Structure 1
Amino acid sequence: MVKIEPFAVEQWMDRYETTPGVVNIAETCCASVSVDDLVRMCEEKDAPGPLSLSAKLTYGAIRGSETLRQRIAALYDRASDAEPLPAENVIVTQGAIGANFLTLYTLAGPGDHVICVYPTYQQLYTVPESFGAEVSLWKLKAEKGYVPDVSELEGLVKDNTKMIIINNPNNPTGSTIPASVLLQIVTFAKQRGIIIFSDEVYSPLYHSLPAGQEAPPSILAFGYSRTIATGSMSKAFALAGIRTGWVASRDRALVEAVAAARDYTTISVSQLDDRVASYALSEPVVRPLLARNVALARTNLGLLDAFVDEHAEVCSWVRPTAGTTALLHFRDNGKGGAPVDDPSFSLDVLNETKVMFVPASTCFGLGTDFKGSVRIGYVCETEVLVAGLGKLGRYIDEHLLGKSKN
């Protein structure tokens, strides 16, 4: 039996997100949309809808419909000058979580060494370790904006290093790895024949980059075939409920290896989900959908920015540049400015105010890493964020700043 560590963030979410009356600012997807919303967004008003109620619900195309795989491939083509990605180099999966698991199951095992950025989604380093691979954490630093320092790779790499795992944009920090740093990572890996696996589930939600900095392309755009990207309809495309993700690579051998492993876990994805995803990624829909989500992210990040400024005496962060998540650090003035105990803090806030977020030391840290920090998902409906921050602000005034309720 494979021994695997509990998936802390998913267990926390599962345990508390159904709390009656919860104000959920832990959710990491852009505020969800419905099929009706997609149809209303469509810029071609006479275009057929996403579903045909008369179509027979067979297994369908095993690796995903040709239409959906073409439209996923087009996402990579839009963002770079590289050769077009063939649809055959895309495999549709049950969410990005399925895509990540299949990739790691296929490519990491006993005798392999893997380097993984940290903090990141726990799956990316716990799963390869559970399969017998040795994992070294490439620790991101707040003082460097949580951008990986490529000079540290030399001290992490080993003779048996098979894979470097990155996450761009990053969860939980919301940081962006710029194109220049991606190129350095590719150069390093290419010299040694190391696979680069990039979880790009929050791409292309690069909404708040510094002036003059362009959104980075996918890892597939740098001319190195031994690269793999995963993505999904959940985060940037606001369609978590259709559970549709993908694996893409320019190396057909890697694609075929993942496909062979997938045969043991998935015959095909739901044909209804495939058709909704295909519709959402069609040109008349994907443009307004992404525009809506980018605008929502910018609006809500501005609200969160104002909240951090207002409570700067006890709250700090590295302001996110992309994605939907932010890592906020809280101190308790009543305890000499010591970091809060973030699991207790998170639960007490939930119990007293119904506001939910996740403790970073529990859900993203090892040992005492990220003590006092919490992850907030801020690209929910704006009114939910406003309500949540209002309640949280009153809690902070009373419990961390010692101000009277009155």
Structure 2
Amino acid sequence: MVKIERFEVEQWMDTYETTPGVLNLAETCAASISVNDLVDLCEDENAPGPLTLSTKMTYGAILGSHNLRKRVASLFDKASTSPISEQSVLITQGAIAANFLAFYSLVGPGDHVICVYPTYQQLYTVPGSLGAEVSLWKLKEEDNYIPDVKELEALVKTNTKLIVINNPNNPTGSTTPKSVLEEIVAFAKARGIIILSDEVYSPLYHSLPPGQDAPPSILALGYDKTIATGSMSKAFALAGLRLGWVASRDSAIIEAIASARDYTAISVSQLDDQVATYALSQSVLPSLLKRNTALASTNLELLSAFVERYSSVCSWVKPTAGTTALIQFRKKGVPVDDADFALDLLGKTKVLFVPGSLCFGQGKDFKGCVRMGYACGTEVLQEGLKQLEGYVEEHLL
């Protein structure tokens, strides 16, 4: 029997995010919008609507509709001299399915996988459950949680099949810049190693330092054995669609994943496909991303002001992208027990965080840290920070 580890962050969210009156600062999606909101964002009053209600509800296009795959492919064009085609894209039930299918198709017993850490638990637990050996590529606070490519020499093995990265990073909100991505690609290409880049928080690069450009997708850097995954959930505020994708220039990789996908899903919902296609149209996409980028940027500054005000008891590496931050809380200079802290905070204030050591540190790393999602509605964040301020004043200072 396959050994399945507890998916701690999802178990935590499942248990606590429906708490009555919760101020959900654990949510990682840009504040969700409705289909009506999406229509309001459309800049072309003559554009067709998001749904064609006369369409017969068959299985639809098995790999995803032509228009949707074409529009997803166009998301990877930035900084690429060779745009990818729709044949390089496969539509899935969210990025979580895209990642799972990539692992299920490509790794197994006898393989070795290198994965950045901290990151979404799926990215290292699933390869391990499939029998692969997994080495964690530990990101360091002093390096702003940017991977140190020199460390790959000590991690790589003759049987290394896959290097897994996450850009922007969950939970830290760090950005791996183009120069580092190019180093990773050069390292992998010299050894024939596949790279899987979870890009589910791209393109929310909202707070980069002056002069630093947003990095391109891993697919734009001239190496065919690369895979990018993403979804409509985080950067596009449409988690309810449950629609994502996996893309690669290597046709053999896409064919293998498509073959594995036959065992898990025939196709995605035609309704989801239609709404996602509409959202990624040039009539809607620019205003949708402008809305979500502005929301994340505005809210991050509110959170930054809080961290600065209470720097005696909390600290972080300020995020540059995405929707999440990793913040450490201390009492009398000692990191709090983050799980107890999160539960006590929830009970006293209704503010929900995700404990870092439990959900991202395998119970041993990131003591005292919590992951916070700050791209919720600004009014929710403001009220949550107000409640958190009262808690800090009473219990940590």
Q: How far is 1:52 from its partner?
A: 1.4
Instruction: Quote the residue 2:23 is aligned against.
Output: 23
Distance 2:234 2:81 in 1: 25
Quick one: distance in 1 between partners of 2:82 and 2:36? 35
Count how many residue pairs are aligned between Structure 1 and Structure 2.
397
CA shift for structure 1 position 129: 0.1
- Secondary structure of 1:350's counterpart equals helix
Q: Which residue of 1 aligns with 2:103?
A: 104
1:340 matched residue in structure 2? 336
1:168 aligns with 2:167: yes
Query: What SS does structure 2 have at the residue aligned with 1:61?
Result: coil
Structure 1 residue 368, shift from structure 2 partner: 1.8
Give secondary structure in 2 for the equivalent of 1:76: coil
- CA deviations on 1:228-287 (whole Å, 9 max, x unpaired) are 000000000000000000000000000000000001111000000000000000001000
Q: Which amino acid aligns with 1:266?
A: A
Q: Could you tell me whether the CA contact under 8 Å between 2:146 and 2:176 is conserved in 1?
A: yes
CA shift digits 1:323-347 (9 cap, x unpaired) = 00000000002xxx11000000000
- The residue number in structure 1 matching 2:158 is 159
SS at match of 1:173: coil
Give the structure 1 partner of residue 33 of structure 2. 33
State the alpha-carbon separation in 1 of the partners of residues 20 and 297 from structure 2. Answer: 29
Give the alignment partner of residue 376 of structure 1, picking from 372, 378, 382.
372
Question: 1:281-334 deviations in whole A, cap 9, x for unaligned?
Answer: 00010000000000001100000000001111101000000000000000002x
Q: Is 1:352 aligned with 2:351?
A: no
Q: How far does residue 367 in structure 1 lie from its aligned partner after superposition?
A: 3.9
Q: Is the 8 A contact 2:117 2:138 kept in 1?
A: yes
8 Å contact 2:115–2:124 — kept in the other structure? yes
Extract unaligned runs of 5+ from structure 2.
Answer: none
Deviations 1:53-98 (A, max 9, x none): 1111111000000000000001111x12321101011000000000
Matched residue, 1:91: 90
Partners of 2:153 and 2:362 lie apart in 1 by 23
Q: Distance in 2 between matches of 1:171 and 1:54?
A: 40
Deviation (angstroms), 1:183: 0.2
SS in 1 for 2:340: helix
Q: CA deviation at 1:108?
A: 1.1
Find the counterpart in structure 1 of residue 396 from structure 2.
400
Paired AA for residue 101 in structure 1: F
1:176-223: CA deviations, max 9, x gaps?
Answer: 000000000000000000000000000000000000000000000111
Structure 2 residue matching 1:284: 3-state secondary structure:
coil
1:258 corresponds to: 257
Q: Secondary structure at the match of 2:171?
A: coil
> 1:404 maps to which residue?
none
Q: Any unmatched runs of 5+ in structure 1?
A: 402-406
Deviations 1:21-69 (A, max 9, x none): 1000000000001110111110101211110111111110000000000
Runs of 4+ with >2 A deviation: none
One-letter amino acid of the structure 1 residue matched with residue 305 of structure 2? A
Q: CA deviation at 1:147?
A: 0.1
Matched to 1:53, the amino acid is: L
Match of 1:242 in 2: 241
2:62 corresponding residue in structure 1: 62
The 3-state SS of whatever aligns with 2:347 is helix
- Which residue of structure 2 aligns with residue 5 of structure 1? 5
CA distance in 2, matches of 1:374, 1:367: 13
SS at match of 1:329: strand
1:189-200 correspondence runs (5 A): 189-200=188-199
CA distance in 2, matches of 1:202, 1:292: 15
Is 1:131 the counterpart of 2:130 in the alignment? yes
Residues 95, 229 of structure 2: 8 Å contact kept:
yes
Give the whole-Å Cα distance in 2 for the aligned partners of 1:227 and 1:64. Answer: 21
User: 2:200, 2:229 within 8 Å by CA — same for their partners in 1?
Assistant: yes
| SS of match in other structure, 1:166 | strand
Q: Which residue of 2 aligns with 1:227?
A: 226
The range that moved more, 52-61 or 177-186, is: 52-61
Residue in 1 that maps onto 2:383: 387
Task: Please report how far the alpha carbon of residue 111 of structure 1 lies from its aligned counterpart in structure 2 after TM superposition.
Answer: 0.3
Percent identity, aligned pairs only? 71
**Is the contact between residue 80 and residue 221 of structure 2 (CA under 8 Å) also seen in structure 1?**
no
In structure 1, what is the Cα distance between the partners aligned to 2:387 and 2:226? 44
Question: How far apart, CA to CA, are the structure 2 residues paired with 1:108 and 1:390?
Answer: 47
